[in-house]
């Protein structure tokens, strides 16, 4: 762990607090982590034990909400360590070309607010076409997700719409 730049992880006392507060672990359970240690601590530890090539999905599953670090009794900066794995995975070329291509498009669109708004407006309308009872059970492009679980339908109003109303005092 010292060699991998994960020395803070040596403070871990395996209390499990980070797991119990992790939104990903709470949705998925422990088996999907595929190693001895699940949750945020597992997402940091398993690449050390099994190699990043085999377990690069674990650091990428994190939402970076920071709750794990907040509750860790020995103040391990778990999100920072996970970001370190992501960074390394990128630099070592372990990301599939489809991910690199998708991120390139996202970077291009996210830097152009008008294009971003147009893209999200179209995506929301398309997703609504596939929504039934507040969930999407199948849709082109969501196959890997909807094969095992439902995908939440888009909310009736977007965050930006609500934000604009709030700014107007409504």
Return residues touching ligand SF4 (CB under 6 A). 12-18, 41, 72-74, 76, 78
CB nearer ligand SF4, residue 6 or residue 41: 41
CB nearer ligand SF4, residue 29 or residue 93: 29
Q: Tell me if 127 sits within 8 A of 154, measured CB to CB.
A: yes
DSSP 21: T
Among 34, 60, 64, smallest CA distance to 49 is for 34
Q: Closest distance between ligand SF4 and the C-beta of residue 41, in Å?
A: 4
Instruction: At 120, list the tokens.
Output: 């999200």
Q: Closest distance between ligand SF4 and the C-beta of residue 33, in Å?
A: 13
CB nearer ligand SF4, residue 18 or residue 52: 18
Q: Closest distance between ligand SF4 and the C-beta of residue 81, in Å?
A: 9
CB nearer ligand SF4, residue 85 or residue 136: 85
Distance of CA 21 to the CA centre of its chain: 15
Provide the H-helix boundaries in 35-170. Answer: 39-50, 52-55, 57-60, 67-71, 78-91, 97-110, 113-129, 143-146, 159-167
Q: Closest distance between ligand SF4 and the C-beta of residue 16, in Å?
A: 5
């Amino acid at each position: 762990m010292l060699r991998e730049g994960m020395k803070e992880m040596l403070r871990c006392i395996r209390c499990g607090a980070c797991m119990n507060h992790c939104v990903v672990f709470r949705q998925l359970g422990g088996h999907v982590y595929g190693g001895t240690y699940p949750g945020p601590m597992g997402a940091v530890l398993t690449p050390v034990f099994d190699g990043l090539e085999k377990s690069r999905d674990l650091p990428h599953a994190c939402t970076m909400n920071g709750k794990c670090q907040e509750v860790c009794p020995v103040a391990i900066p778990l999100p920072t360590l996970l970001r370190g794995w992501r960074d390394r995975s990128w630099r070592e070329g372990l990301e599939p070309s489809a991910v690199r291509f998708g991120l390139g498009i996202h970077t291009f669109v996210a830097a152009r607010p008008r294009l971003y708004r147009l893209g999200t407006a179209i995506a929301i309308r398309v997703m609504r076409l596939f929504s039934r009872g507040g969930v999407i059970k199948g849709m082109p492009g969501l196959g890997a997700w909807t094969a095992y679980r439902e995908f939440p339908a888009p909310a009736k109003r977007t965050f930006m719409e609500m934000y604009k109303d709030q700014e107007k005092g409504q």
